Structure 1
Amino acid sequence: MRNVSDIIEQYLKNILLESPQGLVEIQRNDLADRFSCVPSQINYVISTRFTLEKGYVVESKRGGGGYIRIQRIQLPAQHAIHTHLHQSIGEEISQSAAEGLIYQLEEAHFLSKREACLMKAALSRDTLLLKLPYRDQLRARLLKAMLISLLATK
C-alpha cells in the first residue's frame, strides 16, 4: 500500500502532465484538505520530491492568497545533452545530486529503470570507498562516462 506522500506526489505529477504549460499552482491548505493531512505533509512532499535535481522549479508565496507553483524543467534535446551533462555534473558531484540527475533522466525516458538502478549502485558512497573530495570527483567522471555511453546508443 502506498503512503500519503506517494499519493500526493503522483497526484501532482498527473496534474503537471495534463497541464499545457507544464506547471501547476496549488494552495497548500486545499491540497491538505483533499488528502486529509496536515499542510506540513504537503511541504515535505514538495521539498523532497520536487527538487531542482529532479527536474522541478518550485515557487512559494505565503499568506492569504498564497500558492505553491511547481514547474517541470524540460531536458534539452538529445543533441544538446552532452553540454547539459557537463554543465550539470561539473568536476565533482554529490551522491544526492547524482541520484537527482539520474531520476530526472529516467523520468524523461532517457534511461530505463534498470539502467538507473545500476548507475545508482555504482555511484553510491558505499561502492566508492574514498574520502571526499576524491569520491565526488570520481563519481562525476564515472557518471559522465556512463551517461555519454548510454545516451550515444539511444
Structure 2
Amino acid sequence: MRNVSEVIEQYLKQILQQSSEGVIEIQRNDLADRFECVPSQINYVISTRFTLEKGYIVESKRGGGGYIRIQKIALNAHGSVLDHIFKTISSQIDQTASEGLLYQLEESGYLTSREAALMRAAVSREALLLKLPLRDEIRANILKAMLISLLSK
C-alpha cells in the first residue's frame, strides 16, 4: 500500500496534467482535509517532490485566502531541453541536483528509466570517490557528456 505522501504527489501530478496551462492553485488546508492529514504533510510533499530540480516552480501566499501555486516547467522543444541542461549543470552539479535533473528528463520522456538509472549510478558519490569540489565538477562533465550524446540524436 502506498503512503499518504505518494498519494498526494500522484493526485497533484494528475490535476497538473489535466490543467490546460500546466499550473494549479491549491489551498493547503483543503488538500489536508481531502487526504485526512495535517497541513504540514502537504508542505512536506510539495517541498520534497515539487522542486525546481524536478521541474516545478512553487509559489505560496500565506494568510487568509492564501494558496500554493505549482507550475510544471515545460521541456517541449529539443533546444530548450539542452539549454535547460546546460543552465542546470553549469561547471559543477551536486548529487541532489543531478538526481532531480535526471528525474525531470525521465518524467518528460527524454530518458528511459534504464538510461536514468545508469546515469544516476555513474555520477553517484559512491562511484566518484573524490573530494569536493572536484567530485561535483567531474559529475557535471560526465552528466553533460552522457546527456548530449543521448539527446543530440
Compute the TM-score of the two structures, normalised by the length of structure 2. Answer: 0.97
Distance change in 2, residues 1:67/1:139 (3 Å): same
**SS of the counterpart of 2:63?**
coil
Partner in structure 2 of residue 131 of structure 1:
131
User: Following superposition, which runs of at least 4 residues in structure 1 exceed 6 angstroms of deviation?
Assistant: none
Name the SS for the 1:59 alignment partner. Answer: strand
Map of 1:5-154 to 2, 5 A cutoff? 5-153=5-153
Paired with 2:32 and 2:123, the residues of 1 have a C-alpha distance of: 36
Cα drift, residue 88 of structure 1: 1.6
Q: Quick one: distance in 1 between partners of 2:29 and 2:138?
A: 44
Deviations 1:87-123 (A, max 9, x none): 2210000000000110110011000011111111111
> Counterpart of 2:57 in 1: which secondary structure?
strand
Letter in 2 for 1:81: V
SS in 2 for 1:60: strand
Q: Distance in 2 between matches of 1:57 and 1:85?
A: 16
1:76 is displaced (CA, Å) by: 5.0
Distance 2:76 2:88 in 1: 12
SS of residue paired to 2:146: helix
Alpha-carbon deviation of 1:152? 1.9
Alignment deviations for residues 7-52 of structure 1 (CA, whole Å, 9 cap, x no partner): 0000000000000010110000000000010000000000000000
C-alpha displacement at 1:85, in angstroms? Answer: 1.8
Matched residues, number: 153
Question: SS at the partner of 2:114?
Answer: helix
Aligned to 1:4: 4
The normalised TM-score by structure 1 is 0.96
CA contact (8 A) 1:54 1:101 kept: yes
